[in-house]
Amino acid sequence: MNYFNQLQTLLDASCAPYSGFNVASIVVLKDGRSFKGVNVESAAYSPTNCAERNAIQTAVTEGAKIGDLQEVHILARNAAKELVQAYPCGPCRQVIAEQALNDTVIYCYASEDKVDKHTIAELLPFGFLGAEL
Ligand code: THU
């Protein structure tokens, strides 16, 4: 199954009772392994976790190291159940950038045939990546 079809199925696992906005993400590591994540919302709002960060956290739990993240695939569906193209939020860009290399590619799907591809360096130029610490 291609990533778009897997993401479409994964959208049903999203827990978004407050926004109705479902997000699914699949991250792919350099070694070819892939990990899934969905957004999980909270009634207190701020504990909400994004799909991309949930996928990355699972990948790290399963052994991914800094620099292993090769691809991030994202699909979203609005409260009207229409597929919509979504880009990672600011905090997700930060976390992707810290686990990635500059050439890591983010795939944002509008449909099976229409996908925008950007490197993390394009989505987060001049990032704070911790070298200064
Ligand atoms: N969301 C994500 O899962 N990823 C993003 O990059 C943007 C936003 C989720 C958080 C919240 O559950 C819903 O989308 C609406 O903001």
Superfamily of domain 4-123: Cytidine Deaminase, domain 2 (3.40.140.10)
Average pLDDT value for residue range 66-94? 98
Q: Is 34 helix (H, G, I), strand (E, B) or coil?
A: strand
**Percentage of the residues of the chain whose pLDDT score is greater than 90:** 95
How far apart CA 26 and CA 22 sit, in angstroms, is: 14
Helix (H) or strand (E) segment spanning residue 72: strand 69-77
Query: For residue 57, what pLDDT is reported?
Result: 98
Query: For residue 71, what pLDDT is reported?
Result: 98
* Protein residue with least CA distance to atom 10, ligand 1: 50
- The residue extents of the domains of the chain are 4-123
Tens digits of residue pLDDT in 90-106: 999 999 999 998 889 99
**CA nearest neighbour of 75 among 129, 19, 128, 5:** 5
* Protein residue with least CA distance to atom 4, ligand 1: 50
Ligand 1 pocket check for 25: Cβ under 6 Å: no
Query: For residue 128, what pLDDT is reported?
Result: 94
Query: For residue 103, what pLDDT is reported?
Result: 86
Tens digits of residue pLDDT in 11-52: 999 999 999 999 999 999 999 999 999 999 999 999 999 999
Residue type, 85: Q
pTM exceeds cut of 0.95: yes
